């Protein structure tokens, strides 16, 4: 049955305008997701872009990570940054994890430990190949058990991130 134009709930011009608006909105969203974020290149296992890890701690962490990689094949990257620049830590970590290609190809056995100073946030991003060993709940517990990597004054504690390894 054909409904006369005067009785239609959505008239075609406004419906067509809504479709165009929805299309442009979705297009912008997907373009923003596809645009690669510009991250610095990794400089090793420990990437202290915030400048908070002393040389001795960095050396010790790199030795531990290298040992873990030799024994298990898992790749671990520790990254400190000054700020997330308005992005959620989950999204930032995921993009960094993907762009750097942490973990062996085909095994997806990488781990990223990301610490953002300004936002006082920590994220442990785990590749699919290690999710049975390091599920999200355990990663959250590891972060909480440390009683927070940041002191009450907001300064990063000296044990972090080596206390995660």
Q: What is the CATH number of the domain that holds 145?
A: 3.10.310.50
Domain that holds residue 99: 46-164
Residue 70 lies in a domain: yes
* pLDDT score at 160: 47
Secondary structure of residue 77 in the 3-state scheme? strand
Residue 129 lies in a domain: yes
Residue 34 lies in a domain: no
* pLDDT score at 143: 84
Residue 136 lies in a domain: yes
Residue 141 lies in a domain: yes
The answer to whether 39 and 95 are in contact (CB under 8 A) is yes
* pLDDT score at 33: 53
Residue 86 lies in a domain: yes
* pLDDT score at 151: 54
Does the pTM surpass 0.85? The reply is: no
Task: Tell me how many domains the chain contains.
Answer: 1
pLDDT averages per 10-residue partition of the chain, 165 residues: 56 57 61 60 94 92 95 95 93 95 93 93 94 92 71 55 49
* pLDDT score at 97: 95
Residue 27 lies in a domain: no
Question: Residue 109 phi/psi, 5° resolution?
Answer: -110, 50
For residue 12, count CB atoms less than 10 angstroms from its CB and return exposed for 0-12, middle for 13-18, buried for 19 or more: exposed
Hey, what are 99's tokens?
């762009």
Residue 5 lies in a domain: no
* pLDDT score at 70: 96
Hey, what are 89's tokens?
């830590």
């Amino acid at each position: 049955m054909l409904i006369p134009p005067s009785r239609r709930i959505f008239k075609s011009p406004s419906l067509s305008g809504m479709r165009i608006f929805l299309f442009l909105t979705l297009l912008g969203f997907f373009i923003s997701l596809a645009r690669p974020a510009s991250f610095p290149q990794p400089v090793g296992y420990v990437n202290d872009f915030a400048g908070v890890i002393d040389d001795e701690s960095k050396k010790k962490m790199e030795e531990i990570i290298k040992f873990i990689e030799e024994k298990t094949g898992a790749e671990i990257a520790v990254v400190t940054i000054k700020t997330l620049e308005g992005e959620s830590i989950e999204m930032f970590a995921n993009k960094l994890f993907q762009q750097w290609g942490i973990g062996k190809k085909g095994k997806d056995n990488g781990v990223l430990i990301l610490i953002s100073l300004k936002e006082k946030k920590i994220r442990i991003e785990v590749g699919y190949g290690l999710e049975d060993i390091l599920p999200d709940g355990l990663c959250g517990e590891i972060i909480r058990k440390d009683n927070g990597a940041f002191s009450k004054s907001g300064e990063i504690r000296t044990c972090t991130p080596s206390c995660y390894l």
